[in-house]
Amino acid sequence: MDFVSGRFLPSQDLPVSETGFAQEFVKIDTDQILISNSTGSLRLLTRDIEGTFRYKPSVFDEVAGLGITRAIHADPDGNVWLATDSGIVRIDPKRDAPNSEPSTVMIRSILSGEHVLYDGLTTMSTTEVAEGGSLRFGFALPSYRAPEMNQYRSRIRPSHSDNASWSAWSNETKRDFTNLAGGDFLFEVQAKDASGVSGGQASVPIIVVAPWYRRTWAIVTFWIAGLFLVLAGVQWRVRALRARSAELERLVAIKTEALQLAATTDPLTGLWNRHRFGQWVRDEIPSINANVAHAADSDRVELIACVIDLDHFKRVNDQHGHAAGDAVLRAVAERLMAMRQPGDLVFRFGGEEFVYLGVQRHRSEGKKLAERIVHEIAQINVELDSGVLLDPTASVGWSVYPFYRERADLFSIDFVLGLADRALYLAKQVGRNRAYGYLPNIGVDEIDRTQADWRAQVFNRHTDFLKRV
């Protein structure tokens, strides 16, 4: 079959069954003619050595899915332009026909800003980019079936998850991702050619590197440091609370001591009061009893109890006022404290009455101690603001505890104080400014203890019970 003046001459070498009924003929060059048949298929006819145009398999056989070819144009460079229902398609017939195997989509480039991470020439490896950065992926499907009609879809997903959605199918051959979060990801792209044949899937691992302070080691370090800070804060708080607690305990102790001091101290003279005397008796009398039980007769283990009462004190208050009486009381307290031996105690029981306890003494010292108290008080001179000079005196009654060494349990310290009071009133009756005392005058076994109230009746039943000293 020959092609002369734009027309074919009849020939049996190219039956219609090979090409179909031709609708349009386009001369590509002197040796190639492209025809389209009624179904829209394209066939390339090539002149053989005998000068006859024959059908030859070519790239045009692979062009499909474009719709009916409406027009064909060959430019001077030998490129063929097809106007089809799907659009304008350019084909270079000089290229070899593609392999019958489907083409595979390829990632051609990876850019981060202006920095090229992959250029399509080197071996692809895991791509790293800083967190918050951007990536542009370029890809292509090397298909000869109208490459302008190839379509792609892509996505970037976490490497451990397949839940990310794909983009819509598009003929765009690049994809941008911006403001990337830190982590391990996988970029994937799928393709299909103009005829809908799949080009497979290409992928590349992406590591978006977080700032150092957001990396695992940094986060673990921060957690550990935070834990240490919390522990340090807790320890500091505990120490602060302990210090505060100790301070509160100290303040409470000070307040308690102040309250106890106020409760046990006479505010005028500073001496211990009757309440403190009761506490001392409860704390110390048991040890005195224990010491006496094992002591020899000459041992100084007894308690000399002296009851002191100022003479004519009411007269001082009436004639000179209570301030003068207070001055006298303070002067007496100071003198008693100054004369006492180590261990001796002085109490103010109220009004003008004082109690002096000679601790760890022998009963033979009682008279001497009481008379010294009378003497010391008689030496006091109190000058009032008015210039009046007061010289108080006192009467003293005394006794000893235990009243009987061999039976300390028979008579209490209160009983002994009662005896000292008896002696005091005796001193008052005789003429004041003197001291008297009472000691036992009969043996302990001579006391009638047959009645339940024998202590109350001891003076009536034993008129010789006491010996005045």
Are 377 and 313 found together in one domain? yes
pLDDT band at 17 (very low <50, low <70, confident <90, very high): low
Looking at the domain assignment, is residue 10 inside a domain? yes
DSSP-based helix, strand, coil % in the chain, nearest 5: 35, 30, 35
Per the structure, how many domains does the chain have?
4
Q: In the 8-state DSSP scheme, what is residue 258?
A: H
Give the tens place of pLDDT for each residue, 440-454. Answer: 999 999 999 999 999
Looking at the domain assignment, is residue 101 inside a domain? no
Are 152 and 241 found together in one domain? no
* pLDDT in the model for residue 85: 59
Looking at the domain assignment, is residue 264 inside a domain? no
Question: In Å, what is the CA distance from 364 to each residue of 358, 359, 370, 379, 437?
Answer: 12, 13, 11, 25, 11
- Which of the listed residues 45, 65, 91 is the one where a domain comes to its end? 91
Q: What is the β-pairing status of strands 466-468 and 435-440?
A: antiparallel
Looking at the domain assignment, is residue 260 inside a domain? no
Give the tens place of pLDDT for each residue, 126-180. Answer: 888 888 889 999 999 876 666 778 899 999 999 888 888 999 999 899 999 999 8
Are 297 and 333 found together in one domain? yes
Are 342 and 424 found together in one domain? yes
Show Cβ contacts of residue 44 under 8 Å, excluding neighbours closer than 6 positions: 28, 32, 33, 34, 55, 56, 58, 60, 61, 93
| Cβ(376)–Cβ(435) below 8 Å | no
Question: In Å, what is the CA distance from 51 to each residue of 7, 13, 198, 447?
Answer: 15, 12, 40, 171
Are 84 and 199 found together in one domain? no
Are 143 and 239 found together in one domain? no
pLDDT mean over 388-402: 97
Question: In Å, what is the CA distance from 284 to each residue of 291, 302, 347?
Answer: 11, 12, 15
Are 200 and 220 found together in one domain? no
Residue 169 belongs to what domain range? 106-210
- Which of the listed residues 65, 91, 117 is the one where a domain comes to its end? 91
What's the CATH code of the domain at 416?
Answer: 3.30.70.270
Give the tens place of pLDDT for each residue, 250-264. Answer: 998 888 888 888 889
Instruction: Judge residue 191's burial from the number of C-beta atoms within 10 Å of its C-beta, 0-12 exposed, 13-18 middle, 19 or more buried.
Output: buried
3-state secondary structure of 183: strand
Are 218 and 204 found together in one domain? no
* pLDDT in the model for residue 2: 55
Looking at the domain assignment, is residue 99 inside a domain? no
Are 392 and 321 found together in one domain? yes
Looking at the domain assignment, is residue 73 inside a domain? yes
Are 322 and 394 found together in one domain? yes
Are 46 and 161 found together in one domain? no
Are 233 and 323 found together in one domain? no
Looking at the domain assignment, is residue 195 inside a domain? yes
What's the CATH code of the domain at 192?
Answer: 2.60.40.10
Looking at the domain assignment, is residue 269 inside a domain? no
